[in-house]
Amino acid sequence: MFTDRTAVLAVTAGIAAYKSPIIVRELKKANAEVLVIMTERATEFITPLTLETLSQNPVAIGLFDRGNTWSLEHVALADRADILIVAPATANIIGKAAAGIADDLVSTTILTMMSSVPILIAPAMNNRMWENPVVRNNVATLKKTGVHFTGPVEGTLADGRAGMGRMADVNEILSMVEKILSK
Protein backbone atom coordinates (compact mmCIF):
# COMPACT_ATOMS: atom_id res chain seq x y z
CA MET A 1 0.00 0.00 0.00
CA PHE A 2 2.70 2.51 0.97
CA THR A 3 5.78 0.82 -0.50
CA ASP A 4 8.29 3.37 -1.78
CA ARG A 5 6.31 6.18 -0.14
CA THR A 6 7.59 8.57 2.49
CA ALA A 7 5.20 9.94 5.09
CA VAL A 8 6.15 12.79 7.38
CA LEU A 9 4.18 12.70 10.62
CA ALA A 10 3.96 15.99 12.51
CA VAL A 11 2.96 15.55 16.15
CA THR A 12 1.66 18.54 18.09
CA ALA A 13 0.91 19.03 21.78
CA GLY A 14 -2.41 17.33 22.34
CA ILE A 15 -3.42 14.42 24.53
CA ALA A 16 -4.16 12.45 21.33
CA ALA A 17 -0.39 12.30 20.75
CA TYR A 18 -0.61 8.89 22.43
CA LYS A 19 -2.03 7.63 19.12
CA SER A 20 1.00 8.81 17.14
CA PRO A 21 3.06 5.66 17.78
CA ILE A 22 0.17 3.59 16.42
CA ILE A 23 0.11 5.69 13.24
CA VAL A 24 3.88 5.22 12.84
CA ARG A 25 3.65 1.47 13.47
CA GLU A 26 0.82 1.00 10.96
CA LEU A 27 2.55 3.06 8.27
CA LYS A 28 5.74 1.02 8.78
CA LYS A 29 3.75 -2.24 8.59
CA ALA A 30 2.44 -0.99 5.23
CA ASN A 31 6.06 -0.49 4.05
CA ALA A 32 6.19 3.29 4.25
CA GLU A 33 9.26 5.24 5.23
CA VAL A 34 8.17 7.37 8.19
CA LEU A 35 9.87 10.58 9.30
CA VAL A 36 8.58 12.19 12.47
CA ILE A 37 8.72 15.82 13.52
CA MET A 38 7.32 17.20 16.75
CA THR A 39 6.64 20.48 18.42
CA GLU A 40 8.66 20.99 21.57
CA ARG A 41 5.48 20.86 23.64
CA ALA A 42 4.44 17.55 22.04
CA THR A 43 7.39 15.95 23.85
CA GLU A 44 5.43 16.51 27.07
CA PHE A 45 2.86 13.99 25.82
CA ILE A 46 5.00 11.39 24.00
CA THR A 47 8.74 10.89 23.94
CA PRO A 48 10.80 11.23 20.79
CA LEU A 49 12.51 7.93 21.71
CA THR A 50 9.25 6.03 21.28
CA LEU A 51 8.70 7.50 17.83
CA GLU A 52 12.36 7.04 16.84
CA THR A 53 12.21 3.38 17.83
CA LEU A 54 9.04 2.72 15.85
CA SER A 55 9.97 4.80 12.80
CA GLN A 56 13.61 3.67 12.81
CA ASN A 57 14.54 7.28 12.07
CA PRO A 58 15.64 10.21 14.20
CA VAL A 59 12.87 12.55 15.32
CA ALA A 60 13.30 16.25 14.62
CA ILE A 61 11.98 18.78 17.12
CA GLY A 62 13.68 22.15 16.87
CA LEU A 63 13.85 24.35 13.83
CA PHE A 64 17.55 24.89 14.44
CA ASP A 65 18.52 21.43 15.70
CA ARG A 66 21.95 20.43 14.47
CA GLY A 67 21.59 17.00 12.90
CA ASN A 68 23.82 14.93 10.68
CA THR A 69 22.82 16.86 7.59
CA TRP A 70 23.78 20.24 6.23
CA SER A 71 20.34 20.87 4.71
CA LEU A 72 17.52 22.78 6.33
CA GLU A 73 15.24 20.15 7.88
CA HIS A 74 11.92 21.57 6.67
CA VAL A 75 13.17 21.88 3.09
CA ALA A 76 14.80 18.44 3.13
CA LEU A 77 11.56 16.92 4.42
CA ALA A 78 9.57 18.60 1.65
CA ASP A 79 11.95 17.13 -0.92
CA ARG A 80 11.51 13.60 0.47
CA ALA A 81 7.83 13.52 1.47
CA ASP A 82 4.94 12.04 -0.45
CA ILE A 83 2.51 13.23 2.24
CA LEU A 84 2.51 15.26 5.44
CA ILE A 85 0.20 14.02 8.20
CA VAL A 86 -0.44 16.35 11.13
CA ALA A 87 -1.83 14.19 13.93
CA PRO A 88 -2.85 15.32 16.38
CA ALA A 89 -3.40 18.83 15.08
CA THR A 90 -4.13 21.40 17.75
CA ALA A 91 -6.09 24.61 17.27
CA ASN A 92 -2.73 26.36 17.60
CA ILE A 93 -1.06 24.61 14.65
CA ILE A 94 -4.20 24.94 12.51
CA GLY A 95 -4.25 28.68 13.23
CA LYS A 96 -0.56 29.05 12.44
CA ALA A 97 -0.95 27.17 9.16
CA ALA A 98 -4.00 29.22 8.13
CA ALA A 99 -2.18 32.47 8.90
CA GLY A 100 1.09 31.41 7.27
CA ILE A 101 3.00 31.59 10.55
CA ALA A 102 6.23 29.60 10.58
CA ASP A 103 7.89 29.89 13.97
CA ASP A 104 8.84 26.29 14.79
CA LEU A 105 9.78 23.16 12.86
CA VAL A 106 6.22 21.85 12.45
CA SER A 107 4.67 25.14 11.32
CA THR A 108 7.62 25.86 9.02
CA THR A 109 7.37 22.38 7.49
CA ILE A 110 3.63 22.79 6.90
CA LEU A 111 4.20 26.13 5.19
CA THR A 112 7.05 24.71 3.10
CA MET A 113 5.04 21.67 1.97
CA MET A 114 1.71 23.39 1.36
CA SER A 115 2.47 24.13 -2.27
CA SER A 116 4.10 20.83 -3.19
CA VAL A 117 3.01 17.92 -0.97
CA PRO A 118 -0.47 16.74 0.02
CA ILE A 119 -1.26 17.52 3.65
CA LEU A 120 -3.70 15.64 5.87
CA ILE A 121 -4.68 17.25 9.16
CA ALA A 122 -6.34 15.26 11.95
CA PRO A 123 -7.64 17.82 14.47
CA ALA A 124 -7.87 16.98 18.16
CA MET A 125 -9.06 19.49 20.74
CA ASN A 126 -11.74 20.30 23.25
CA ASN A 127 -15.19 20.65 21.68
CA ARG A 128 -15.41 24.31 22.74
CA MET A 129 -12.21 25.02 20.83
CA TRP A 130 -13.39 23.05 17.79
CA GLU A 131 -16.69 24.97 17.74
CA ASN A 132 -14.94 28.34 17.99
CA PRO A 133 -15.71 30.37 14.84
CA VAL A 134 -12.07 31.39 14.49
CA VAL A 135 -10.93 27.74 14.45
CA ARG A 136 -13.68 26.84 11.97
CA ASN A 137 -12.63 29.76 9.75
CA ASN A 138 -9.00 28.59 9.89
CA VAL A 139 -10.08 25.10 8.83
CA ALA A 140 -12.11 26.55 5.95
CA THR A 141 -9.12 28.64 4.87
CA LEU A 142 -6.86 25.59 4.80
CA LYS A 143 -9.43 23.50 2.92
CA LYS A 144 -9.57 26.22 0.24
CA THR A 145 -5.82 25.77 -0.28
CA GLY A 146 -6.25 22.02 -0.80
CA VAL A 147 -5.37 20.77 2.67
CA HIS A 148 -7.25 17.58 3.55
CA PHE A 149 -8.94 16.96 6.91
CA THR A 150 -10.19 13.88 8.72
CA GLY A 151 -12.15 14.34 11.90
CA PRO A 152 -12.53 15.33 14.53
CA VAL A 153 -15.16 12.92 15.74
CA GLU A 154 -17.66 12.83 18.59
CA GLY A 155 -16.59 11.05 21.74
CA THR A 156 -15.26 11.35 25.25
CA LEU A 157 -12.73 14.15 25.46
CA ALA A 158 -9.72 14.57 27.75
CA ASP A 159 -11.79 16.45 30.33
CA GLY A 160 -14.25 13.54 30.54
CA ARG A 161 -17.05 15.32 28.73
CA ALA A 162 -18.55 14.09 25.48
CA GLY A 163 -18.36 16.23 22.39
CA MET A 164 -16.89 16.80 18.96
CA GLY A 165 -13.12 17.06 19.16
CA ARG A 166 -11.58 13.60 19.40
CA MET A 167 -8.95 12.82 16.81
CA ALA A 168 -10.17 10.52 14.06
CA ASP A 169 -9.47 6.83 14.51
CA VAL A 170 -6.06 5.68 13.30
CA ASN A 171 -7.70 3.45 10.67
CA GLU A 172 -9.62 6.45 9.31
CA ILE A 173 -6.41 8.48 9.13
CA LEU A 174 -4.63 5.68 7.27
CA SER A 175 -7.59 5.25 4.93
CA MET A 176 -7.45 8.96 4.09
CA VAL A 177 -3.69 8.75 3.50
CA GLU A 178 -4.25 5.87 1.09
CA LYS A 179 -7.03 7.77 -0.69
CA ILE A 180 -4.90 10.92 -1.03
CA LEU A 181 -1.85 9.03 -2.28
CA SER A 182 -3.88 7.05 -4.82
CA LYS A 183 -4.83 10.26 -6.66
> Would you list the DSSP string of the chain?
--TT-EEEEEE-SSGGGGGHHHHHHHHHHTT-EEEEEE-TGGGGTS-HHHHHHHHTSPPB--TT---S-SS-HHHHHHHH-SEEEEEEE-HHHHHHHHHT---SHHHHHHHHHTTTS-EEEEE---HHHHT-HHHHHHHHHHHHTT-EE---EEEE-TTS-EEEEEPPPHHHHHHHHHHHHH-
* Boundaries of domain holding 46: 6-182
Question: In the prediction, which pLDDT does 72 show?
Answer: 52
Measured from the Cβ of residue 90, the count of other Cβ atoms closer than 10 Å reads: 23
In a domain, 157, yes or no: yes
In a domain, 173, yes or no: yes
How does strand 162-166 pair with strand 153-156?
antiparallel
Please write the tens of the pLDDT for every residue from 33-89.
999 999 999 999 999 999 999 999 999 998 766 554 534 555 677 778 999 999 999
In a domain, 119, yes or no: yes
Q: How many domains does the chain have?
A: 1
In a domain, 1, yes or no: no
- Rounded to two decimals, the pTM is 0.92
- Output the domain CATH number for residue 84: 3.40.50.1950
On average, the pLDDT of the chain sits at 91
